[in-house]
Structure 1
């Protein structure tokens, strides 16, 4: 028994000495692969951040590059160790493994693939204000795009984690993509005996254009539409343009300020019935 044990130990020791140089080379290759993957991924990520100005896509490509380089390095290590059969087995089983995992984790795989599509398709950027499914509860600024979820921060400070598949599948409204947005509000006023529609519209436009946050240029004109007229009572629709960079403060608060200013101006003009603005 001792003789057999000694022979087995000698055999394994001989094989270890034979593989020792290969193990050294494989270890060096693995260290180099990790170093190269980290450096190249950071380099590519920095270049993408500077050129694309899209942190979502840049971060996704950085992670993808790192894991791809690490996988290539691992394959080289297995080749050096003479484990070509393992490499072939890994590559051959990849399709079956992907099928099994995809079937067992259908939702996770679906959201992961949807996250890839969103990262490359880029229907929104970080800090864009978006709304999903025409639902006010699903409206806010994009905080992050993860492998599985899209994070939206609402205007009241809540964070909503939406599955990427839902964001990709449902209708998505981006309020800030163009850089400009056209809010609107209605004004209902009783002209009385001496008032005129032209005077009311002129006074409203003066109030709107007086705001420094309102944009009134050739491509983005402010205007008023007459919606309804019942006797001396008019219902006007006011449209104006502003920057969409900050939807909550730059749009909603500006709209509120203009509505209050219009109501105050029409009240100062002495119309028989206070204007209804909404």
Structure 2
């Protein structure tokens, strides 16, 4: 029995020594393929960023190209080792493999295909401010499986691409302009009039550099409720949304405070302002 075991081990050892040069060559080819895949994907990414002017799409295509080059290198290494039958079987059974893999990894395949659609459809660009479900923030990356959003409080949210594709997506910065509004409740007394409040607020808004003044994006007021001595007025204005937090949120906050101080300075009772 020991002689048989020794004979079997000797046979395996001789076969290993016979295949060893091929394994070494395949390993070298695989390492070269990794190097070439990294260099070519970076070169392709640089060219895409220069021509497409869309870093989000360029990064996504760069990631795909890298995996394609790596797969080609792996197939070549298997061919050198002598696994040509395996390679042929893999290529010949591509349809069946795609079905089995697609069924087993349904979510992964779905997110990958959704990422491809998002990359070419482009409902958002890099650094756009978007809202998906209850998540609002800046788009930082579009990966093969996930879309990365950084919220205003610094959290990174990784959303599956399939959810981003299926769910309603609000892009606050795509057009560059955003209309906002807030409500003013003013007690103007027995001798005041709504027109006085309206003209006072409108004249103030027309002097603000952060408020757009070109038609049709001009500030205006809508009377929502009028009492004997009180009035509720909703103020509408347009501002830049390219930098959403500064151009929209802070601008609105500052306008509300300035209008409140203005009305107090003009002799009105402290007004109530709500969003």
TM-score normalized with structure 1 length: 0.80
Where does 1:187-206 land on structure 2 (aligned, <5 Å)? Answer: 187-206=184-203
Asked if the contact 2:30/2:73 (under 8 Å) is kept, the reply is yes
1:162 is matched with 159
What residue is the counterpart of 1:63 in the other structure? 63
Shift of 1:176: 0.8
Paired residue secondary structure (2:170): strand
Residues 185 and 232, structure 2, Cα contact 8 Å, conserved in 1: yes
**What is the root-mean-square deviation of aligned Cα atoms in Å?**
3.3
Q: Structure 1 residue 201: deviation in Å?
A: 1.8
Paired residues in the alignment total 270
CA offset at residue 198 of structure 1?
2.7
Specify which of 216, 225, 237 is matched with residue 228 of structure 1: 225
Matched, 1:149 2:150: no
Residues 141 and 154, structure 1, Cα contact 8 Å, conserved in 2 = yes
Q: Whole-Å Cα distance in 1 between the matches of residues 51 and 214 of structure 2?
A: 30
Aligned to 1:89: 89
Structure 1 unmatched runs, 5+? none
State the SS of the aligned residue for 1:253: helix
Q: Which residue of 1 aligns with 2:52?
A: 52
The aligned counterpart of 1:277 is: 273
Q: How does 1:1-278 map to 2 (within 5 A)?
A: 33-34=33-34, 36-75=36-75, 84-133=84-133, 135=134, 138-271=135-268, 273-278=269-274
Which portions of structure 1, spanning 4 or more consecutive aligned residues, are displaced by more than 4 angstroms? Answer: 22-36, 73-84
Partner SS for 2:260? helix
Between stretches 238-247 and 29-38, larger displacement belongs to 29-38
Q: In 1, distance between residues paired with 2:187 and 2:28?
A: 85
Of the structure 1 ranges 40-49 and 203-212, higher mean CA displacement relative to structure 2 is found in 203-212
Secondary structure class of the residue paired with 1:183: strand
Query: Following the alignment from structure 1 to structure 2, what is the Cα–Cα distance between the partners of residues 23 and 132?
Result: 49
Any unmatched runs of 5+ in structure 2?
none
Query: Residues 115 and 143 of structure 2 are in contact (CA less than 8 Å); yes or no, is this contact kept in structure 1?
Result: yes
Indicate how the Cα distance of structure 1 residues 121 and 268 shifts in structure 2: closer, same or farther if over 3 A, else same: same
- TM-superposed deviation, 1:84: 4.5
User: Separation in 2 of the partners of 1:228 and 1:62?
Assistant: 57
Change (3 A) 1:151 1:83: closer
Q: Is the 8 A contact 1:126 1:142 kept in 2?
A: yes
| 2:221 aligned counterpart, secondary structure | strand
CA distance in 2, matches of 1:23, 1:105: 31
